[in-house]
Amino acid sequence: MGVLKTANGSTAVIPMLEYQAAPKIKTEKMSLKRLFISAALICANFTVVMSNDNEGYVEKYDGWENVINAIIQVESKGNPNAYNKNGDCVGILQITRICVKEANNILKDAKSEIVFSLSDRWDVEKSKKIFILIQNKYNPEHDLIKACRIWNEGPYYNKQIKTTEYVKKVLQYLNK
């Protein structure tokens, strides 16, 4: 079990999932059904730990680090200064204003005093922490496909074709 420390000093116990490692997959000329089944296998090595660190939230990215790195490649090609004026998406994970607001709502619900600013979107480590907060709330089962869909469309995604392409791109980077 992991522990999330709240602003008032109380703690919340958060279950962690542990699985066996999965083999790499090839995404070229793969049916959508096989792609999703294979992606489920990649999820097999996920462990997310919420811990009592100095800031009161994510200490480790166990298991998410590879997914975060793949999403970084899809979103910004690893450029922490990336900016998309069309969607006001910035930073290495192309975080929107809405995403920052949602992360702050999650922290507020946990009675945390931590608040992300819009400028935190440019900070690599803070961007990763925002990702973990969003995933822990909307993807507690740590499903890889769902993680990609949430990051691409938001927590109430509707499985658009463009998101299916996004998932394929993330899986290709995971496979390298």
Task: Dump pLDDT digits (tens) for 29-78.
Answer: 444 444 444 444 344 333 333 333 434 444 445 568 899 999 999 999 99
Q: Is 27 a residue whose pLDDT tops 50?
A: no
Q: Which of 17-21, 55-59, 79-83 has the highest mean pLDDT?
A: 79-83
pLDDT at 5 over 60: no
Is residue 168 scored above 80 in pLDDT? Answer: yes
pLDDT range class, residue 161, cuts 50, 70, 90: low
**CA proximity to 38, closest of 30, 46, 29:** 30
What is the model's pLDDT at position 62? 54
Lowest-confidence segment of 12-21, 23-32, 110-119, 161-170 by average pLDDT: 12-21
Specify the pTM. Answer: 0.67
pLDDT confidence of residue 85: 83
Which token pair is 8?
A: 């008032």
With a cut of 80, say whether residue 162 has pLDDT above it. Answer: no
Q: How many domains does the chain have?
A: 1
Number of other residues whose CB lies within 10 A of the CB of residue 171:
25
Predicted confidence (pLDDT) per residue in 87-145, tens digit: 789 999 999 999 999 999 999 999 999 999 999 999 999 999 999 999 999 998 888 99
Q: Which domain holds residue 33?
A: 2-174
* For residue 147, pLDDT beyond 50: yes
pLDDT at 157 (0 to 100)? 74
Q: What angle do CA 167, 30, 42 make, to 5 degrees?
A: 50
Q: What b-and-e string marks burial along 93-119, b requiring 16 or more CB atoms within 10 Å of the CB? A: bbbbeebbebbbebbeebebeeebeee
Determine the Cα–Cα distance for residues 136 and 103; give it in Å rounded to an integer.
Answer: 11
Query: How much is the pLDDT for 61?
Result: 53
CATH number where 97 lies: 1.10.530
